Structure 1
């Protein structure tokens, strides 16, 4: 049996800022960009890896979410406490430099962790934590 990760979901609070970060800064390709009323879902993924995607979605779009719950979710997102993703690259320092030059919100500069991983961390425009590790 072969199981893969096909989609993962991250909320966005500004679709254009999300596109700028994921497409223009990280270099992901846009696979789908659709919406409904004033909401927009954008699917992006690494070039050459069509089986793995990130769906950038409006937060708390579920009609069952109350206004109070929606406010709480938005507060958690902007604090970077709602969700996170870890990416891997074969050039951590080069990618860090590119993200920093683009004005991305640096959380942690590249560091060799005690547990054997070299990584760094940023927040995307919505506040989601993006960890990036050196691929070995």
Structure 2
């Protein structure tokens, strides 16, 4: 299943791109460093490659790593490397760290999040009422 290059990047895709940039450049490393599943990481890699932000290759052979204190040997996972376009994307879209926001930006962010939560609550209440009427 190939990702549509016109699709906007999701937070998960941005996370994987940032992981590759920081040196976690294979599926196992990205999965271990994030809360993403192996399947999610693979989907992100496909999508990022379709956007020409990374190049993915699968090295031959086996690899030995220590995972959770145990030595493991497994087939070499897919590896990714940023393209020039990927580097540009990261420089234009740096990760949003709350520590880097000004007081005004934090207030604005909190207000936006509170508004979104209220809208979700209203939608959930409406949905709940609709379900109860049908039961």
Same fold (TM over 0.5): no
Q: TM-score, normalised by structure 1?
A: 0.29
Structure having the higher Rg: 2
> Which structure's residues are more often strand, by fraction?
1
Higher helix share: 2
